[in-house]
């Protein structure tokens, strides 16, 4: 998805969900700045986009209780985030003999990265059953 597509998508969402307009404004500014990188307005827009992006990072860090905003990494979605954790953190700290526990309710995005990590490290993937009451 390029910046323009994303802006169009967000504009469409704004029409359907006006209450989310504020949350999307920073993202739109950021994406537009990327589109106009070579224009004379680039510097101002890029600076605003960077400020908005870094403010969002600080807000999320406070919300999560992270010790530093530098610990916050934005990615495109759950699949990318889980793969990043499995490969980066898992590749460093998981080894043969460890057990990774998921449930049989998981989305595909939360199964494959752990299967791959287990194949690479020799850890075991355990799948916990869940009943109809989610227990």
Ligand X SMILES: Cc1ncc(COP(=O)(O)O)c(C=O)c1O
CA 120 – CA 25 distance, rounded (Å): 42
Of 8, 12, 16, 54, the C-alpha closest to 32 is 8
Please list every residue from 95 through 134 that binds ligand X, using CB under 6 A.
107, 109-110
Residue nearest to ligand X (CB): 77
Query: Which residue in the set 3, 13, 60, 79 belongs to the binding site for ligand X (CB under 6 A)?
Result: 79
What is the closest distance, in whole angstroms, from the C-beta atom of residue 43 to ligand X in the complex?
33
DSSP state of 128: E
Q: Quick check: 9 binds ligand X (CB under 6 A)?
A: no
Q: Using CB under 6 A as the criterion, which residues of the chain lie in contact with ligand X when the complex forms?
A: 77-79, 107, 109-110
């Amino acid at each position: 998805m390029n910046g323009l597509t994303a802006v169009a998508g967000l504009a469409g969402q704004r029409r359907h969900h006006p209450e989310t307009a504020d949350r999307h404004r920073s993202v739109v500014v950021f994406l537009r700045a990327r589109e106009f990188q070579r224009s004379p307005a680039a510097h101002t827009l890029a600076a605003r986009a960077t400020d908005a992006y870094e403010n969002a990072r600080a807000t999320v860090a406070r919300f999560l209780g992270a010790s530093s905003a530098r610990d916050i990494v934005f990615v495109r979605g759950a699949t990318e985030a889980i793969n990043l954790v499995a490969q980066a953190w898992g590749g460093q700290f998981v080894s043969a003999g460890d057990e990774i526990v998921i449930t049989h309710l998981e989305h595909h995005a939360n199964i494959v990265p752990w299967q791959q990590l287990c194949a690479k490290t020799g850890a075991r993937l355990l799948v916990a059953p869940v009943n109809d009451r989610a227990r």
